[in-house]
Amino acid sequence: MADVNRGAAIVGIHEHITRYAPDKSELQLQGESIIKALDDAGLTKKDVDGLLTASMSIRNSGLALADYLDMSPKMVDNTTVGGGSFEFHLSHALNAIASGRINCAVITYSTLAKSGGVSVGTGGVSRFGHPQLDPSPDSFEELYGLTTVGLYAMIAQRHMHLYGTTSEQLAEVAVTMRKHAGMNPEALFRNPITVEDVVRSRVISSPLHLMDCCVITDGGGAVVVASPELAKNCRHKPVWVLGAGEAVAHQGAGKRDLMYIAAKQSHEPAFAMAGVTHKDIDMAMIYDSFTITVIETLEDLGFCEKGEGGQFVSNGRIQLGGELPINTDGGGLSSNHPGMRGLFLLLEATRQLRHQFEGTPRQVPDCKIALCHGTGGALGSRHSGGTVILGVD
């Protein structure tokens, strides 16, 4: 296989700061984000020849977006594997650019989950608006009242049973995200919370409390990915894609141990391609749909042993100033979770690698290498895992 390490770089980013946008369309949010991300890069519409997007609501969203913005890309990728789709998109953009098929790709996403009143985590079967269950697997699952929260809660329950993980350890994740959100003026919730606040919030699906669950917001954003040659002339120094790995995990005909998540498979190729080890990672963006997601992901990415995630996230280790700062924007638990959050992992990692917050507590000092791991779908049934490792010279 050709070595695609540093075969492409993130050169432009934009996060639509809105958390509530009832007066806009999803395509408008995407269009506005793309325009600003290209401006951030110092590139224009004519430079873009690859378009990657996923949507919870727009049918054939890549096609719809190309139409809306009158674009004729040479490559369109509509990979939709849940919230972590955008780590897959970056992996695909890297391949397309490194192979010479395209020079510049835009990855974008937006949603109106909040203003549309979508019950992302607790809608059950109605969250997808299906008039009728699919013959399988829905007809063997949705009969029993599955929710997204419930599927993660079942993994949390077994994690506690097997490893002695506590509600207080889960709460540490939420408390840390809130602390980070306090440094992010755009975050939805910024007031500090305590472990006690989390474990005293109402139970949504045991053992997960309200504050173990991510927020629901509107939002959008875009990432511009360019070839090394194009990146040379961009405004910011390139944030190189050093490595990428993709995986799925599912029930395996009822026989798979779902305590091991897709991150276990996706991280190895990403680290191998990047040629780095866990000790080299200065900060990580870990998809935090729920507090348990972070604990399980850190274990299966190999930052700690299986079952030790609860201890790992305690004692300030994942805070800014700690050994491995995680989700320095406040994460899905406090900053934003517009239905799918994978794109926002790439945005904050890029900001950290650009040292955009230099001189403030939000900046990870000497940040040179960052890891992003997106999870999509649900840990308790079937899900995707996309790991990307980014770095600067």
Tell which one of 3, 46, 59, 144 touches another protein (CB under 8 A): 144
Tell which one of 33, 55, 147, 311 touches another protein (CB under 8 A): 147
Q: Phi and psi dihedrals of 136, rounded to 5?
A: -155, 145
Stretch of residues binding another protein (CB under 8 A), selected from 15-23, 142-150, 192-200, 327-335 = 142-150
The bridge status of strand 239-249 relative to strand 9-16 is antiparallel
8 A C-beta contact, residue 223 and residue 34: no
**CA dist., res. 22 & res. 7, Å (int):** 39
Give yes or no for residue 200 binding another protein (CB under 8 A). Answer: no
- Report in angstroms how near the CB of residue 112 gets to another protein at its nearest: 18
Taking Cα atoms as reference points, which of 100, 34, 24, 23 lies closest to residue 62?
34
Stretch of residues binding another protein (CB under 8 A), selected from 41-49, 79-87, 156-164, 187-195 = 156-164
Task: Reply yes or no: is the peptide bond before residue 269 cis, omega within 30 of 0.
Answer: no
- The nearer residue to another protein, 80 or 122, going by C-beta atoms, is 122
Number of residues that bind another protein (CB under 8 A): 45
CA 89 distance to own-chain centroid? 11
- Token pair of 31 as six digits: 């269009």
Give yes or no for residue 202 binding another protein (CB under 8 A). Answer: yes
Taking Cα atoms as reference points, which of 12, 27, 66 lies closest to residue 238?
12
Taking Cα atoms as reference points, which of 313, 291, 315 lies closest to residue 156?
291
- The nearer residue to another protein, 143 or 272, going by C-beta atoms, is 143
Tell which one of 103, 167, 205, 293 touches another protein (CB under 8 A): 205
Give yes or no for residue 280 binding another protein (CB under 8 A). Answer: no
Complete edge-to-edge strand list for the sheet that includes strand 239-249: 75-77, 50-53, 104-111, 219-226, 9-16, 239-249, 383-391, 369-377, 283-286
Q: How many CA atoms lie within 13 A of 305 on its CB side?
A: 3
Tell which one of 44, 60, 137, 361 touches another protein (CB under 8 A): 137
> Using CB under 8 A as the criterion, what x/- string covers residues 249-278 for binding another protein?
--xxxxx-----------------------
Kindly state the helix (H) or strand (E) to which residue 243 belongs, with its residue range. Answer: strand 239-249
Do you know the residue count of the chain? 393
Tell which one of 133, 186, 197, 368 touches another protein (CB under 8 A): 133
> Using CB under 8 A as the criterion, what x/- string covers residues 93-132 for binding another protein?
--------------------------x--xxxxxx----x
- The nearer residue to another protein, 156 or 222, going by C-beta atoms, is 156
Task: For tokens 């010479």, name the residue.
Answer: 100
By CB under 8 A, name the binding residues for another protein: 119, 122-127, 132-147, 149-150, 153-155, 157-158, 161, 202-208, 251-255, 380-381
